[in-house]
């Protein structure tokens, strides 16, 4: 019963949060001390995307950047992680790979901004994507290193003895077996970029607008309605991805338990 | 590149990988150090430790660092206690099902959104305050005891706890499977341990032992957080990331070396903490293997 | 010769897991200081039986009496019945000595007594010089001996062993079977030893039972177990006799040590050694 109460409490909290954001995004006024605002304008969303606020463009830009970071980091991380996993000093390498996460994202942004300025990447989407890639790549290598265990090595060896060449081993054995972990990595690295604010701020220099910078701008200027809208837009893709991915995660966990 | 065993091409590839990650970080730190000691920079006048002296002698530096450690520690500890409790109540997820999907949903919430929700729910004019007014408990917004913008950082801690606790519940769930905690608990029970004894002598130490590296990274992330303290923190004292950002954003370029000195100080401290935790774990593992 | 009074008495045990009726009306007894070997194929309910007796899963119906006292309503830690998992689960945060002393520390036994008892166990289980080692620095056989010693240390009224040696190589496994027999005889242990391996059951058991389709059938003695068609012993014995007996010859290359051992085990079956 306690389990159900806990899950109910979490669900209640989640619904409260979504409800508050949804209400804020469709109301023009929420005067004190009204508990639930009554002046709701559902057409505000349509106006928003049609208007000069450019929220539509910001959303597309954010999706594009996060997808690029995710695909690049996962692909590069998968290939690189094998070398790291097999390295005789892999413990030391893992320590070093954790460094970008240990130092604050502000420190990372502040320290990199000079170089990006010199390379004419500051203030550009490419610059922000590259900066986010550093974090995402490190994360991908750490996460995917766990894939290269003796069992996978045995599977590769088996495929070779059955006649597979190197390409076939990758395409027919390694990639399919790694698929659940790769999906997880894609999701996690997507979120690293999607949620990023500090690197976008420092490397983007205020000229690259993403949902996070837009949210902060609207909040800072007192436009809670637009801030809440950006917040809902920020939540939507990851919630959908987690809903899809959670089934994958459960299936993977279940398969491993039954093995 | 070699696709088998431990050939040199594999090692080289690994080194390149690590280089791709560390080179930017190392270059960034090197740049900050050189700027802060006056070797490079717009107003550089040659080697000087003046910025460092100013930063280290400034009491605000240590207040900021201490405050960041306090907030990071309080957030992590509170989340840890909550997560352990929740994990214990949820118990072993049935063999055919992983933890309920609901517990993954908080992963979708970024710090900025969490901070916004804190303001709208816990703020003086937030949902809870309005509820309190409706119930007749408070009259004006300022009557509501909001934890936000307080000098003790309560609002930051509450927001962080809401963000981090679900992560820790998932972490403990995964670690409990890997470490066979349920089996170990059963073994302890049949050896005579009560439920409480099994929790204290088996579940807690096994989980904490396995979780220490991840927890240390979480601590550093919380102490170095930016978005949440930016939105719900008091003006003073600021947390370290906010303090660095403020100094960096000042119009007075002459303050830039101090900004870099502060950033370098924090980078070195956090790297040192990470290194110490990893070194301690390696030492423990070596001792256990060699004993 | 009078048989000693039954130590463990299980009556009409019904256990349901999720929606499935895994055990139905299971009734049997284990004599004091004897090992009941329970044979069953995968999925027959062997683990469920042991976990139910240990109190790790609830029972739907039935009684469990230990030394005349009902224990089925007691929590697992109050039954004085130790359960050994198929895989030796050692506490990773404790070294070998502390793993074995775990149960004694719960009982607030004096430090010098703990040291004395564990040192004796380390000796009899051939774990000299490994006191400070942790689980991942021990071999499979060593881990299994530590788990065994941890259980022996608390001097339980009953031990439940769930295919404890199935993950070991044949040679280590044979060694562990001999060790179990020796130590359980020395210490007068009562045990239920579950296995799917007929030869292992004949090696370690004093009494025998077969678990099939949720029900359990006990046999009065070794000879009855060997003769009964449902145990499968007769079928196995004739197979091994065929391999090494009149039909076989040296030049066939079949006369390996392993095969000879198997044939010997089944050949001895009809002799009720009356070890206990």
Residues B232-259 have pLDDT tens digits of 999 999 999 999 999 888 878 888 899 9
Q: Say if residue A14's pLDDT is above 50.
A: yes
C and A adjacent (3 or more CB pairs under 8 angstroms)? no
> pLDDT-based confidence at B3, cuts 50/70/90?
very low
Domains and CATH numbers, chain C: 6-268 (3.40.50.300)
> pLDDT-based confidence at C169, cuts 50/70/90?
confident
Classify residue C232 as left (phi > 0), alpha (psi -120 to 50) or beta: left
Size of chain A, expressed as the number of residues it contains = 259
Q: Which of A239, A178, A191 is nearest to A70 (CA)?
A: A191
Tell me the shortest Cα–Cα distance from C132 to chain B, in angstroms: 5
CATH class of A55-210: mainly alpha
Tell me the shortest Cα–Cα distance from B74 to chain A, in angstroms: 18
Size of chain B, expressed as the number of residues it contains = 291
Q: How large is the average pLDDT for residues A205-220?
A: 92
The answer to whether the Cβ–Cβ distance between B289 and C154 falls below 8 Å is no
Residue of chain B minimizing CA distance to C158: B190
> pLDDT-based confidence at C275, cuts 50/70/90?
very low
Choose the closest CB to A99 out of B86, B130, B274: B274
Residues in contact with A97: Cβ distance below 8 Å, sequence separation at least 6, in sequence order: A84, A138, A141, A142, B18, B21
Q: What is the pLDDT of residue A189?
A: 93
Q: CA B140, CA B152: separation in Å to the nearest integer?
A: 23
Q: What is the pLDDT of residue C255?
A: 46
B and A adjacent (3 or more CB pairs under 8 angstroms)? yes
Domain boundaries, chain A: 55-210
Q: Do the bridges between strand C207-212 and strand C35-39 make them parallel or antiparallel, or are there none, so unpaired?
A: parallel
Q: How large is the average pLDDT for residues C178-203?
A: 89
Q: Say if residue C249's pLDDT is above 50.
A: no
Residue of chain C minimizing CA distance to B179: C92
Q: How large is the average pLDDT for residues C151-180?
A: 89
Kindly report, residue by residue over C12-46, the tens digit of the pLDDT.
999 998 878 889 999 999 988 999 999 988 888 99
Q: What is the pLDDT of residue B23?
A: 86
Q: Which of B185, B162, B166, B164 is nearest to B174 (CA)?
A: B166
Q: What is the pLDDT of residue A96?
A: 86
Residue of chain B minimizing CA distance to C103: B191
Q: Say if residue A68's pLDDT is above 50.
A: yes
Kindly report, residue by residue over B138-179, the tens digit of the pLDDT.
999 999 999 999 999 999 999 999 999 988 998 898 899 889
Query: How many Cβ atoms are within 10 Å of B136's Cβ, its own excluded?
Result: 7
> pLDDT-based confidence at B5, cuts 50/70/90?
very low
Residues of C in contact with B288 (CB under 8 A): 95, 133-134, 136-137
Max Cα–Cα distance, chain C, nearest Å: 63
Residues of B in contact with C103 (CB under 8 A): 191-192
Q: Say if residue C272's pLDDT is above 80.
A: no
The answer to whether the Cβ–Cβ distance between B289 and C134 falls below 8 Å is yes
Q: Say if residue A99's pLDDT is above 90.
A: no
Q: Say if residue A166's pLDDT is above 60.
A: yes
- The structure tokens 């050949």 sit at C267
Q: Which tokens hold the place of B1?
A: 């590149």
Residue of chain B minimizing CA distance to C82: B190
Size of chain C, expressed as the number of residues it contains = 276
Q: CA B226, CA A106: separation in Å to the nearest integer?
A: 7
Q: How large is the average pLDDT for residues B261-267?
A: 93
Q: Rg for chain A (alpha carbons), in Å?
A: 22
Burial status of residue A123 (CB atoms within 10 A of its CB: 0-12, 13-18, 19 or more): middle
Question: Which among B120, B173, B229 is the top mutation candidate for probing chain A, defined by the most A β-carbons within 10 Å of its own β-carbon?
Answer: B120
Q: What is the pLDDT of residue A86?
A: 84
> pLDDT-based confidence at B206, cuts 50/70/90?
very high
Residues of B in contact with C77 (CB under 8 A): 189-194, 197-198
Q: What is the pLDDT of residue B13?
A: 73
Query: How many Cβ atoms are within 10 Å of C29's Cβ, its own excluded?
Result: 17
Q: Say if residue B92's pLDDT is above 60.
A: no
Q: Which tokens hold the place of C250?
A: 């040296």
What are chain C's partners, defined as 3 or more CB pairs within 8 angstroms?
A: B
Q: What is the pLDDT of residue B254?
A: 82
């Amino acid at each position: 019963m306690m389990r159900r109460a806990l899950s109910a409490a979490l669900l209640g909290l989640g619904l409260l949060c979504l409800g508050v954001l949804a209400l804020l995004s469709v109301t023009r006024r929420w005067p004190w001390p009204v508990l639930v605002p009554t002046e709701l304008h559902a057409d505000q969303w349509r106006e928003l995307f049609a208007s000069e606020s450019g929220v539509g463009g910001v959303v597309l830009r954010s999706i594009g950047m996060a997808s690029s970071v995710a695909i690049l980091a996962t692909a590069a991380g998968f290939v690189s992680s094998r070398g790291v996993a097999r390295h005789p000093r892999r413990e030391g390498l893992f320590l070093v790979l954790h460094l970008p996460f240990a130092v604050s994202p502000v420190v990372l942004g502040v320290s990199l901004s000079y170089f990006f300025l010199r390379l004419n990447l500051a203030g550009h989407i490419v610059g922000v994507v590259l900066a986010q890639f550093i974090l995402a790549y490190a994360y991908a290598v750490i996460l995917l290193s766990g894939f290269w265990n003796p069992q996978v090595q045995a599977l590769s060896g088996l495929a070779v003895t059955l006649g597979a060449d190197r390409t076939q081993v990758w395409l027919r054995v390694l990639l399919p077996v790694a698929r659940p972990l790769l999906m997880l990595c894609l999701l996690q690295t997507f979120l690293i970029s999607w949620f990023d604010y500090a690197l976008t701020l420092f490397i983007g220099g205020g000229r690259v607008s993403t949902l996070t910078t837009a949210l902060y701008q609207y909040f800072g200027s007192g436009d809670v309605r637009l801030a809440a809208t950006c917040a809902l837009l920020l939540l939507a893709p990851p919630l959908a991805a987690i809903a899809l991915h959670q089934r994958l995660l459960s299936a993977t966990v279940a398969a491993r338990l039954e093995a | 590149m070699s696709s088998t065993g431990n050939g040199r091409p594999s090692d080289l590839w690994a080194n390149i990988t690590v280089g791709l990650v560390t080179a930017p970080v190392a270059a960034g730190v090197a740049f900050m150090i050189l700027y802060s000691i006056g070797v490079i920079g717009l107003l550089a006048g040659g080697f000087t430790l003046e910025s460092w002296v100013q930063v280290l002698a400034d009491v605000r530096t240590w207040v900021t660092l201490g405050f960041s450690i306090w907030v990071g520690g309080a957030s992590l500890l509170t989340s840890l206690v909550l997560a352990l409790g929740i994990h214990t109540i949820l118990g072993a997820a049935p063999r055919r099902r992983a933890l309920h999907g609901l517990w993954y949903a908080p992963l979708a919430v970024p710090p900025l959104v969490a901070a916004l929700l804190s303001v709208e729910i816990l703020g003086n004019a937030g949902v809870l305050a309005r509820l309190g007014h409706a119930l007749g408990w408070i009259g004006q917004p300022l009557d509501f005891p909001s934890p936000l913008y307080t000098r003790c950082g309560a609002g930051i801690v509450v927001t962080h706890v809401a963000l981090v606790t679900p992560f820790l519940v998932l972490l403990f769930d995964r670690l409990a499977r890997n470490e066979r905690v349920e089996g170990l608990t059963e073994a302890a029970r049949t050896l005579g341990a009560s439920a409480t004894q099994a929790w204290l002598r088996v579940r807690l130490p096994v989980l904490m032992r396995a979780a220490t590296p991840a927890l240390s990274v979480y601590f550093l992330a919380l102490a170095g957080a930016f978005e949440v303290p930016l939105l719900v923190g008091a003006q003073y004292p600021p947390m370290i990331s906010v303090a660095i950002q403020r100094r960096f954003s000042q119009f007075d370029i002459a303050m830039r070396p101090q900004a870099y000195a502060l950033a370098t100080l924090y980078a070195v401290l956090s790297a040192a903490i990470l290194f110490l935790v990893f070194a301690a774990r390696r030492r423990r593992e070596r001792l256990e293997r060699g004993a | 010769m009078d048989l000693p009074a039954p130590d463990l008495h299980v009556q009409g045990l019904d256990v349901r897991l999720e929606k499935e009726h895994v055990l139905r009306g299971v009734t049997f007894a284990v004599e004091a200081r004897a090992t009941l070997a329970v044979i069953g194929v995968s999925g027959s309910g062997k683990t469920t039986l042991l976990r139910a007796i240990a109190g790790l899963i609830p029972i739907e119906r039935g009684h469990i009496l230990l030394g005349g006292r009902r224990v089925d309503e007691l929590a697992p830690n109050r039954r004085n019945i130790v359960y050994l998992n198929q895989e030796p689960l050692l506490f990773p945060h404790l070294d070998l000595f502390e793993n074995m002393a775990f149960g004694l520390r719960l009982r607030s036994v004096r430090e010098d007594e703990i040291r004395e008892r564990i040192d004796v166990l380390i000796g009899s289980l051939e774990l000299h010089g490994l006191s400070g080692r942790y689980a991942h620095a021990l071999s499979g056989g060593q881990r299994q001996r530590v788990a065994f010693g941890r259980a022996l240390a608390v001097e339980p009224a009953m031990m439940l062993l769930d295919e404890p040696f199935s993950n070991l190589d044949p040679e280590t496994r044979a060694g562990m079977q001999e060790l179990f027999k020796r130590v359980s005889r020395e210490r007068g242990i009562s045990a239920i030893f579950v296995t799917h391996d007929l030869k292992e059951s004949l090696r370690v058991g004093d009494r025998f039972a077969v678990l099939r389709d949720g029900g359990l059938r006990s046999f009065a003695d070794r000879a009855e177990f060997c003769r009964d068609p449902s145990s499968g012993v007769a079928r196995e014995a004739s197979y091994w006799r065929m391999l090494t007996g009149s039909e076989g010859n040296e030049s066939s290359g079949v006369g390996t040590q392993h095969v000879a051992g198997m044939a010997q085990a089944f050949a001895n079956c009809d002799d009720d050694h009356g070890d206990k």
